Structure 1
Amino acid sequence: MRILSISGQNIASLSDRFEIDFTAAPLNGAGLFAITGETGAGKSSILDAMCLALYGDAPRLATGASSDEVPDPSGDAIKAKDARAILRRGAVQGWAEVRFTAQDGNDYIARWQSRRARDKADGKLQNVARSLARASDQQVLAGQTTAVNEQIIALTGLTYEEFRRTVLLAQGDFDAFLRADTNERAGLLEKVTGTSLYRAVSTRVFERTEAARQAHDALALRRGEHRLLSDEEQAALAEENAPLGVQSRHLVDRIDDESVRL
């Protein structure tokens, strides 16, 4: 996949609407670029916005226990891992949007949005709205969280955890890939480098080689069950068959004679 743009508003420390377009100058011609700024300027919030739009989750939500709760201006407590906790304090709504090119070569737009009831700063947090649309005609392909997640995974070839550990290494999480076990790391590398095709080819070659070996072993076993006759045995068999051949020819002659008389 290829990220084309990231945009949003009221995500963590970012209050104003922002947009980073990688298809426009100067980023479209930059082979390498960096996101820099003072602590709290919103560098990580940009990455959070990207993950929210694509997967409805964000790296900063990975810390803490799933049962931890945080206070909310509405008076209710929400889970610390609730993505709505990223909504900027005092904001009545926030959103994140990512435009990307998928594995099928088409461009799509993934969007995440959170809002408060009655558009009040202390209103109760409403359910998150998510959508996935085709960029060419704005056709909405999915509008439910589960359906959006399934399509994002199918289009990118990566789950959120795989995306977080490979494409995105958030602050304080650079060792996530290194801490993965051998099998998991191998699978991630295949997806990132696109070498899963070679694994499939290798598996097919092994399977065909193993089938050919088993067929060869079976033929060798059958061959071992048969013994070739020695020269003496072949001569004795030929001598034994000679009279039978003469008798056979006599019988054929008699049958021909009988046929003529009839």
Structure 2
Amino acid sequence: MKPISLTVAGLHSFREKQEIDFEALCQGGVFGIFGPTGSGKSSILDAMTLALYGKVERASNNTQGIMNHAENVLEVSYVFELENAKGKQRFKVERTFKRTDDIRVKSGICRLSEIRDEEHLVIADKAGEVNLAVQEILGLTIDDFTRAVVLPQGKFAEFLSLKGADRRQMLQRLFQLEKYGDELSRKIKEELHLKTRLLGEIQAEQLGLGEASDEAVKSAEEAYKELERAVTSSEKTLQEIETLFEEKRKSGSGRQKEGRWSFP
């Protein structure tokens, strides 16, 4: 994200409208913001996060106490540019807030537009829709933004101490890798489900086949061999019986013929 311009009024020490031209500042490549405590250095970052996400990270309940005590209206407008494979895109986000009591404010006008050839095309014009659209465009939540893009005072240690899932999820959003992680996770779950189902089918089939241990297989082989020997013995006995029967039949047939020839 490349900042183009920032306009702010009524936020913290910025009572009157102030405009920052980042394009002019960026011409030198690097620039710094310097000033005494309370001069509004951190308020510039607050104005960016307020414009983008409708929140000031270091404020109580995200918005309490952010309005200048002498003002009743807070306005912020931020123009930024993104560059990707499609080319450069420029967006403008605008928000206003009204005072409700000494410390609390309520959201007023909220609008996100894309700037094309000086024409402003409105993308969203409600606070919730603008918040979602900005997060989708940048690919960053406010936590990611304040950890990786702007680091409020006292938050650098939190950035360094991110561990495990928090770091992984932030990097996924930063580099827009979530779709790959989600797709890989889906494929792994599907493969796990398939393998689990196949394993269940194999186990059920194995139970139907009975005992299949080495001892059971060896015992079955011995029983088969014993049965094979019994079948071989029975076939031999049957063959002997058939041979004897044939001999007896032939012998009986000869005696019958001899007895018939002995009578007229």
Give the TM interval when normalised to the shorter protein: 0.5 to 0.7
Change (3 A) 1:183 1:82: closer
Q: In the alignment, which of 115, 119, 123 is matched to residue 135 of structure 1?
A: 115
Residue type of the alignment partner of 2:48: M
Local SS of the residue matching 1:135 = strand
Number of aligned residue pairs: give it. Answer: 186
Match of 2:95 in 1: 112
Deviation digits for residues 7-45 of structure 1, max 9, x if unmatched? 211110112211222222xx1323222211100000111
Matched, 1:93 2:83: no
Q: In the alignment, which of 141, 145, 159 is matched to residue 141 of structure 2?
A: 159
Residue type of the alignment partner of 1:140: V
Q: Distance in 1 between matches of 2:105 and 2:159?
A: 34
Q: In the alignment, which of 44, 47, 53 is matched to residue 45 of structure 2?
A: 47
Match of 2:236 in 1: none
Q: Distance in 1 between matches of 2:6 and 2:149?
A: 15
Local SS of the residue matching 1:7 = strand
Instruction: Tell me how far 1:127 sits from its aligned partner.
Output: 3.6
Structure 1 spans left out of the alignment, 5+ residues: 62-79, 215-262
Match of 1:196 in 2: 177
Query: Which protein has greater RCO, CA pairs closer than 8 Å, 6+ apart?
Result: 1
Larger Rg: 2
Instruction: Tell me how far 1:59 sits from its aligned partner.
Output: 2.2
The answer to whether the Cα contact below 8 Å between 1:177 and 1:185 also exists between their aligned partners in 2 is no
The answer to whether the Cα contact below 8 Å between 2:12 and 2:40 also exists between their aligned partners in 1 is yes
Identity among equivalent pairs (%): 30
Q: Distance in 1 between matches of 2:28 and 2:132?
A: 32
Match of 1:32 in 2: 30
Q: Distance in 1 between matches of 2:168 and 2:105?
A: 40
Question: Residues 1-262 of structure 1: matches in 2 within 5 Å?
Answer: 1-24=1-24, 27-61=25-59, 80-83=60-63, 85-102=65-82, 105-116=88-99, 125-136=105-116, 137-192=119-174, 194=175, 196=177
Structure 2 spans left out of the alignment, 5+ residues: 196-264
Change (3 A) 1:140 1:191: same
Q: Distance in 2 between matches of 1:195 and 1:150?
A: 16
Q: Distance in 1 between matches of 2:106 and 2:56?
A: 18
Deviation digits for residues 217-247 of structure 1, max 9, x if unmatched? xxxxxxxxxxxxxxxxxxxxxxxxxxxxxxx
Local SS of the residue matching 1:170 = coil
- More helix, by proportion: 2
Aligned-residue CA RMSD in angstroms? 3.3
Residue type of the alignment partner of 1:153: Q
TM-score by length of 2: 0.60
Q: Distance in 2 between matches of 1:84 and 1:109?
A: 24
Relative to structure 2, which stretch is displaced further, 85-94 or 42-51? Answer: 85-94
Change (3 A) 1:135 1:43: same
